[in-house]
């Protein structure tokens, strides 16, 4: 993992941002918690960096300050399936499972964008769980939120047709990026939905025929029929 430590002046700004993103942690002003925080590393990591691979030991716990991390699994046929994403304010369920039970990481994690994070070694994570009620509550809340997200994703995958899932996902991307153009490939969409590139290409062509989208190389544009199927 290629990382760039932050300077001490930037560290002060990052700690302030940590408390803005995870406000419950600012309630703990104890000496024990401050000692844990002093041991933590604040790092910059470039996009596309692999942070963890399935089957490897998890030796750190991170709290994200900027950017997005994608958690996904590989299928035997080479497909990928996105499980969830970590944004600032979230915690990683797979990391927690690995650290709390001393098990290998059960998925893959990669930086989807440039990220900055605060990194706790496993010993400091365990100490924080022991001495800080605010930290423990953060972990419990994150566990509940992530489990709900995964259950919802499972329901969507199991019961919604793939063409509907694709259309709704594109609609969310257009809305999130507030743009009529998406820089995304068919392969990236297939990894997101847990299917093959060929299936995604066929479904995108169908959406284009319905004038919902316009396909360009590496881009998807909003079509004349701006109402995506399944969107109200």
H/E stretch holding 37 reads helix 31-39
The secondary structure of residue 224, as a DSSP letter, is S
Q: What is the pLDDT of residue 24?
A: 86
Q: Which residues of the chain have pLDDT under 50?
A: 1-8, 230-232
* Inter-residue contact 1 to 43 (CB < 8 Å): no
Q: What is the pLDDT of residue 154?
A: 72
* Inter-residue contact 143 to 99 (CB < 8 Å): no
Torsion sign across C-alpha atoms 77, 83, 86, 87: positive
Radius of gyration (C-alpha) of the chain in whole angstroms: 20
Q: What is the pLDDT of residue 211?
A: 87
pTM recorded for the entire structure: 0.67
Q: What is the pLDDT of residue 191?
A: 83
Q: What is the pLDDT of residue 158?
A: 64
* Domain annotation for the chain: domains and CATH numbers: 4-158 (2.60.120.10), 160-222 (1.10.10.10)
H/E stretch holding 119 reads strand 115-121
* Inter-residue contact 67 to 111 (CB < 8 Å): yes
């Amino acid at each position: 993992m290629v990382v760039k430590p932050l300077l001490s002046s930037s560290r002060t700004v990052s700690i302030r941002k940590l408390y803005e993103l995870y406000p419950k942690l600012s309630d703990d002003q104890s000496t024990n918690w401050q000692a844990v925080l002093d041991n933590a590393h604040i790092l910059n990591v470039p996009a596309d960096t692999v942070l963890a691979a399935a089957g490897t030991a998890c030796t750190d716990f991170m709290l994200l300050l900027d950017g997005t991390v994608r958690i996904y699994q590989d299928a035997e046929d080479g497909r990928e399936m996105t499980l969830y994403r970590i944004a600032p304010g979230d915690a990683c369920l797979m990391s927690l499972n690995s650290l709390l039970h001393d098990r290998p990481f059960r998925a893959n994690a990669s930086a989807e964008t440039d990220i900055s994070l605060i990194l706790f070694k496993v010993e400091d994570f365990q100490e924080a769980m022991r001495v800080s009620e605010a930290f423990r509550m953060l972990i419990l809340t994150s566990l509940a939120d992530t489990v709900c997200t995964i259950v919802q994703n499972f329901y969507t995958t199991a019961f919604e047709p793939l063409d509907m899932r694709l259309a709704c996902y594109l609609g969310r991307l257009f809305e999130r990026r507030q743009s009529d153009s998406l820089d995304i490939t068919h392969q990236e969409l297939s990894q997101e939905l847990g299917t093959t590139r060929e299936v995604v290409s066929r479904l995108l062509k169908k959406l284009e025929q319905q004038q919902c989208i316009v396909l360009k190389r590496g881009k998807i544009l909003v079509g004349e029929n701006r109402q995506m199927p399944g969107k109200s």
